[in-house]
Chain A
């Protein structure tokens, strides 16, 4: 059937354009305007050119927060993706186990970020928390408020606890879409467990896995609430990720100019990474 081409349909997109303009484009323009000026409040601005960009690009604080954030994102991806696949592979495909597993998996996803932070903040406390006291009783020196390693472990374990389910659910959706005939054919060919995974399950999960990686990367790259509640970015600034640093700069110190410059650089990095992910995803699909 011949497709009908009618460019007047583009007018139907107009409300979305207005909405995006109001909620994204105008604020973004304002941030760009702030990034080249200095203010002492009262809506009075002074031109400062590229000073803030230069300052942010040369600031150790920004470099460290960026590296920390990248390290965090890649660590949680390296844990959550294989773990998610592993759990999804071992979940039942039929029977009463299916709804039980799905509900259990979905539970952590239903808890708001700040509540997750509070749970882990209390859970890990050495004086009253179950985890903190147990570890202390076992003779392990664990105190996320003073020890950077403990703080990092807490933040990573918390994220794994909160978000691995998302990867599991996505992978599970990919797995149940595989027809039984594939497995029967594999059995007839005498394929090993690994071959079944490598040539049947993984290709079928590829698409959802890319979405999982994209979602988990984006989410971890903007992580704010949980580490803010648990560690407040500390001890020192060892768990100060980009967004925590940005909020400290913009609202804590009220340095609107440098904060605007930093958020533009942050935005450009996210834009680049999303574009790379998106391009890889769409081209993988069209290439198949």
Chain B
């Protein structure tokens, strides 16, 4: 199979590998602690681990877009901010 038409680059490959690894890690987590850990956090509705990952990823995309649009083209800072945001989401949402 030839995937040249998909125009792969290393940065985008790493991006997708990271996302798939996160989803796989969620599967492993679910295997050891089944049930998805539902709870009501600061958003005042019930979220599971999967919801929290989704909120983290979606929020991170907007953090990075906002950083690129408003602050700077160096996205390492916004990536760090996204990680901090994800930790907060997993802790409090």
Interface residues of A (CB under 8 A from B): 26, 29-30, 32-34, 36-37, 39, 43, 45, 47, 50, 53-54, 57-58, 265, 268, 271-272, 275, 279, 283, 286
Contact = CB atoms under 8 A, between A and B. Distances in A.
Contacts of A57: 65, 68-69
B43 to A, nearest CB: 8
Contacts of A283: 45-46
A235 B8 CA distance: 39
Contacts of A36: 9, 11-12
Nearest to B75: A50
9 contacts: A29-B16, A32-B16, A33-B12, A37-B9, A45-B9, A47-B9, A54-B69, A57-B69, A268-B61
B40 to A, nearest CB: 10
A contact face: mostly helix, strand, loop, or mixed: helix
Contact of B6 (A29, A53, A54, A58): A29
Given A33-B12, A268-B58, A286-B46, A43 B7 contact: yes
Contact of A53 (B45, B46, B68): B68
A268 B73 CA distance: 19
Interface string B7-23: 11101100110000000
Contact of B58 (A29, A32, A275): A275
Given A50-B73, A57-B68, A268-B62, A279 B45 contact: yes
A33 B58 contact: no
B42 interface: no
B69 A26 contact: no
Contacts, number: 54
A47 B16 CA distance: 17
B46 A268 contact: no
A30 B45 contact: no
Nearest to B54: A275
A283 B44 CA distance: 10
Contacts of B75: 50
A272 B58 contact: yes
A47 B9 CA distance: 8
A195 to B, nearest CB: 29
The 3 closest A-B CB pairs, nearest first, are: A57-B69, A33-B7, A283-B45
A252 B69 CA distance: 26
Contacts of B9: 33, 36-37, 45, 47
A30 B6 contact: yes
A271 B68 contact: no
Query: Taking each of A32, A45, A271, which has the highest tally of chain B beta carbons within 10 Å of its own beta carbon?
Result: A32
